[in-house]
C-alpha cells in the first residue's frame, strides 16, 4: 500500500529533487484547514516509497520492553485528533534575504498550514514500551529517508525533550484531515509536535529511541540553530546556536499580492496570524508602512490551542503607491519586530517581522 | 499585629499619596531575589492598616460552603513556595512617554522584582470551599483598600479566569522571601498570579468570589486594557481594549546609567531579562544603537519557570557618544520590537521595546 502525493498544480516549487514547495497565499487562505495537496512540502532527500502494510517502527533505548509496531498496531492504540499548525523554521526566509544573503530556499509566507492530525499520543507509545520518563531524557526519532549529502547524507533524525514528547498533544500521526498521510507528508507515520518548528515533526518515522541526550543526527545536532546576528558561515559556531523548538509570533497578508495594481478606495486585506501555544488577540493593519494602524477582524473558527487565526479588514487606499503592513499581538501583549533586519541570521530562520508589501492604487 | 513597610531610602518616588515608587536599577540588580524594602510599590489608595490576627478572607459565590478564613487558617493549609517575578503593567512607561504623551506615572525599568512567594495554592482554598471549577468561571477578589476617586473610589477588585486561578503556582500568599508581607506589599494576604501583570495579584485580600463573569470592579472592567495605537483618551472604547494578563518579553540595562560618562575601552554592561512563562535563551547587547550586536552571558540562578534572568557583558566603547541597546530572545525564538513607537498606546502599558540608553566615553 502506497499513498502517492498529488501535488497541487499551483504549488510554488523551490526545488524538485528533493521536493520543496509551498502554496500561493490566496490558495492557502481559502480554507482554515489546509488540504494535503496544498500543504507546503519540505524534504531533505528523496521521498521513501514505503509500504504501509509492511512498515514497522521500532521503540528501544531506555525502555522496559523493545517494540516493533506496525501501522495497524499504532492505529489500534487510543486515537487522538489535534488541530495544529505545521510550519517550517525557514518560513518567510525570502524577507531576510532582502536584508543580507542567507542560506537555504527562499520560502515565502506559505511554508505553513493547519490541519487536524490524528494518531496515537507519543506518550501512549512510550508507555506501551515501559519507557523511562525522567527529566533530562530525550526521545530520538530516525526516519526512512536518506538526506542529501549537504544535509548529512544519512537518515533524517531529530529528538524531543521528554516533557514535549509526553505532552498529550504530541502524536505518532497517521492521518491529516481524516485522510491517510500522503507520501510527501510522511506516509505511513510521522511525528506531530504542535507549536514547534516542522523540523521536530519528522516524517516516515522508522525508529523511536529513549536516550539521555538529544539526537546526534545532522538535523538536530548541526542544523536548525538560531545563530546570533553577528555570525556568518565562516564563523559558524554550533555552541552559540539555539536549537529551534517553538515558533515565534508571526502573521502574513495573503491578499492583496505584492505589487498588485488595485482600484483606489476601500481595499479588502486578509491573512493569517499564528502564536505557538498562545492566542492571537489582535492584528493591526497599516496602509502607510506602520505610521498609522487599524484593527483587523479576527475570524472565529473555534478555540484551538495550536491553531492559527484568520483575519480580514479594509484599508482605504487613495491613488498612489502604498506600503501595506500587518502585525499580530498575542495573549502576553507581545508583538512582532518591525523590520526583517531585527531578526536576521545567516541561516534565515524564524523570520517574523511585520509582513510588508507594496501595492499601487489607481 | 501590623507589619509596617520600611521604605528603602533610595526608592524613587513617583507619588507619595498613594505611594508609587521603584528602586534604582543598580540596587535592583544587586540580588537575584528582590528584598521587600526594594520591591516597587504600586498603590491605588492609602495602604490599609490591617490587623493580621483579626483579618479574615471570605470565600463565597459558586461554592458548596462559604468560608471565612483567618490568616492562621490559610497558613494551616498546604504551603507552597513559588519563585516568581512581580511586575507592573506600566513598567518602562517613561520610554513610551518619550514618543507621545501617555497617562499614568512614568515608571522606569524598576517596576519589577523577583521573590520567593509562600502561601496556600488558591486552588486548595477553592477546593476547601467546594467551589465549582468549570470553564467560563472566574475567581474575583475584593481588597481592603479604598482606591483614589480617579481609580474608581471603591475597594480594589480584579479577577482571574478559573484556569489561571487553579494553576498550582497561583497562591494566596502570606510571605515574601520567607518574611511576612510588609504592609505596602499586601499584609497580611495577597494573591500571587505568576507571569501575569501585578494588577492581577491583588494585595490586602479580603474576599474571594467564584462567579460566571470577570470582576466588575474598576481595575478589571475599566482599567489595565491594552488599547490599539490609534486610540486616544477622547476616543477610548473599552470594547476595543485587551485585558492585560501575561506580560511580554522584556529586558533592561541596569548599568551603566543613562547619560553616564565612562572611561573609554571595555565597559561592563549588566541587566535583567524576563519572559513570562518562557525561558530567556539569549540577550544581545549593542554599542551602536543596534547596528551590530554581541551576546551577553546569561547567569545561572537555577531553573525557575516564573523567574527572571540576570545577564552581563562587555562593550568596547571608543571615545565619543554611544547608544547602548539590549534585547532579549525567548525559547520560542521571539524577540522584542526595536522602538518604543512600536508598542505605544495612550495608557502606556506593556512597554517592551529594546532598552536603549546614551552614554559618553572619554
Buried b vs exposed e over B284-322: b needs ≥16 C-beta within 10 Å? bbbbeebeebbbbebeeeeebebbbbbbbbebebeeeeb
Q: How far is B178 from chain A (nearest CA, A)?
A: 28
Q: What is the pLDDT of residues A202-247, one digit of tens each?
A: 999 999 999 999 999 999 999 999 999 999 999 999 999 999 999 9
Q: Are B77 and B125 in contact (CB under 8 A)?
A: yes
Q: Are A145 and A203 in contact (CB under 8 A)?
A: yes
Q: Which of A287, A297, A333, A349 to mutate to test the interface with B (most CBs of B within 10 A)?
A: A333
Between the CA of residue A242 and those of A58, A217, B233, B273, what are the distances in Å?
Answer: 29, 16, 43, 17
Q: What is the pLDDT of residues B288-311, one digit of tens each?
A: 999 999 999 999 998 899 999 999
A348/A89 Cα distance (integer angstroms)? 9
Structural domains in chain B, CATH included, are 12-243 (3.90.420.10), 250-361 (2.60.40.650)
A278/A261 Cα distance (integer angstroms)? 36
User: What is the structure's pLDDT at B1?
Assistant: 56
Q: Are A337 and A343 in contact (CB under 8 A)?
A: yes
Task: Kindly list the residues from chain B whose CB atom is less than 8 angstroms away from the CB atom of residue A292.
Answer: 229-230
Q: Which of B228, B293, B349 sits opposite A229 (nearest CB)?
A: B293
Question: Is pLDDT at B331 greater than 80 in this prediction?
Answer: yes
Buried b vs exposed e over A250-262: b needs ≥16 C-beta within 10 Å? bbbbbebeeeeeb
Task: Kindly list the residues from chain A whose CB atom is less than 8 angstroms away from the CB atom of residue B226.
Answer: 329, 333
E-strand ranges in B128-187 read: 138-143, 157-161, 171-176, 179-180
Q: What is the pLDDT of residues A154-173, one digit of tens each?
A: 999 999 999 999 999 999 99
User: What is the structure's pLDDT at A7?
Assistant: 80
Give me the percent of chain A exceeding a pLDDT of 90. Answer: 94
Q: What is the largest CA-CA distance in chain B?
A: 70
Question: How far, in whole angstroms, is CA B351 from its chain's centroid?
Answer: 12
The residue with greater pLDDT, B3 or A95, is A95
User: What is the structure's pLDDT at A284?
Assistant: 98
User: What is the structure's pLDDT at B2?
Assistant: 60
3-state secondary structure at position A37: helix
B40/B11 Cα distance (integer angstroms)? 8
Q: What pairs with residue A74 in β-bridges?
A: none
Question: Is pLDDT at B66 greater than 90 in this prediction?
Answer: yes
CB within 8 Å of B50: residues ≥ 6 apart = B2, B144, B183, B187, B188, B204
3-state secondary structure at position A86: strand
Question: Is pLDDT at B324 greater than 80 in this prediction?
Answer: yes
Q: Which of A334, A335, A354 to mutate to test the interface with B (most CBs of B within 10 A)?
A: A334
Q: What is the largest CA-CA distance in chain A?
A: 70
Buried b vs exposed e over A343-356: b needs ≥16 C-beta within 10 Å? bbbbbbbbbbbbbb
A158/A217 Cα distance (integer angstroms)? 6
Interface contact flag, A333 B352, Cβ < 8 Å: yes
The closest of B151, B147, B146 to B103, measured between CA atoms, is B151
Mean pLDDT of A32-60: 96
Q: How far is A293 from chain B (nearest CA, A)?
A: 6
C-alpha cell at B210: 467564584
Q: Which of B160, B164, B249, B332 to mutate to test the interface with A (most CBs of A within 10 A)?
A: B332
Q: Which residue of B has its CA nearest to A330?
A: B248
Looking at every residue in chain B, the average pLDDT score rounds to: 96
Interface contact flag, B284 A229, Cβ < 8 Å: yes
Mean pLDDT of B188-194: 98
CB within 8 Å of B72: residues ≥ 6 apart = none
CB within 8 Å of B249: residues ≥ 6 apart = A332, A334, B273, B274, B275, B276, B278, B280, B328, B329, B330, B334, B335, B336, B352
Q: What is the pLDDT of residues B124-163, one digit of tens each?
A: 999 999 999 998 999 999 999 999 998 888 999 999 999 9
Q: Are A295 and B210 in contact (CB under 8 A)?
A: no
First-residue to last-residue Cα distance in chain A: 55
Amino acid at each position: 500500500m502506497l499513498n502517492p502525493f498529488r501535488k497541487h498544480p499551483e504549488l510554488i516549487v523551490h526545488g524538485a529533487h528533493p521536493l520543496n514547495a509551498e502554496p500561493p497565499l490566496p490558495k492557502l487562505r481559502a480554507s482554515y484547514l489546509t488540504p494535503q495537496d496544498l500543504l507546503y512540502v519540505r524534504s531533505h532527500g528523496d521521498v521513501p516509497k514505503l509500504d504501509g502494510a509492511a512498515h514497522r517502527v521500532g521503540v528501544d533505548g531506555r525502555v522496559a520492553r523493545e517494540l516493533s509496531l506496525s501501522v495497524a498496531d499504532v492505529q489500534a492504540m487510543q486515537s487522538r485528533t489535534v488541530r495544529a499548525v505545521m510550519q517550517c523554521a525557514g518560513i518567510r526566509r525570502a524577507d531576510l534575504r532582502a536584508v543580507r544573503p542567507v542560506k537555504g530556499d527562499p520560502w515565502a509566507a506559505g511554508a505553513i498550514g493547519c490541519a487536524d492530525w490524528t494518531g496515537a499520543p507519543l506518550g501512549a507509545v512510550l508507555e506501551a514500551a515501559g519507557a523511562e520518563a525522567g527529566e533530562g531524557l530525550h526521545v530520538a526519532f530516525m526516519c526512512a529517508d536518506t538526506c542529501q549529502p549537504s544535509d548529512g547524507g544519512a537518515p533524517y533524525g531529530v529528538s524531543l525533550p521528554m516533557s514535549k514528547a509526553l505532552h498529550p498533544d504530541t502524536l505518532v500521526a497517521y492521518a491529516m484531515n481524516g485522510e491517510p498521510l500522503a507520501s510527501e507528508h510522511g506516509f505511513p507515520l510521522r511525528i506531530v509536535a504542535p507549536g514547534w518548528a516542522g523540523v521536530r515533526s519528522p516524517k516516515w518515522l522508522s525508529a523511536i529511541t529513549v536516550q539521555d541526550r538529544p539526537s546526534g543526527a545532522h538535523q538536530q545536532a548541526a542544523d536548525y540553530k538560531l545563530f546570533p546576528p553577528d555570525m556568518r558561515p565562516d564563523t559558524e559556531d554550533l555552541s552559540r546556536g539555539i536549537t529551534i523548538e517553538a515558533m515565534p509570533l508571526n502573521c502574513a497578508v495573503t491578499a492583496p499580492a505584492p505589487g498588485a495594481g488595485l482600484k483606489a478606495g476601500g481595499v479588502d486585506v486578509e491573512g493569517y496570524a499564528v502564536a505557538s501555544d498562545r492566542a492571537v488577540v489582535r492584528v493591526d493593519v497599516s496602509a502607510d508602512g506602520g505610521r498609522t494602524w487599524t484593527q483587523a477582524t479576527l475570524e472565529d473558527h473555534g478555540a484551538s490551542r495550536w491553531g492559527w487565526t484568520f483575519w480580514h479588514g479594509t484599508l482605504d487606499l487613495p491613488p498612489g503607491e502604498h506600503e501595506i503592513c500587518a502585525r499580530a499581538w498575542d495573549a502576553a501583549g507581545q508583538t512582532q519586530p518591525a523590520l526583517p533586519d531585527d531578526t536576521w541570521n545567516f541561516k534565515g530562520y524564524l523570520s517574523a517581522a511585520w509582513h510588508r508589501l507594496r501595492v499601487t492604487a489607481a
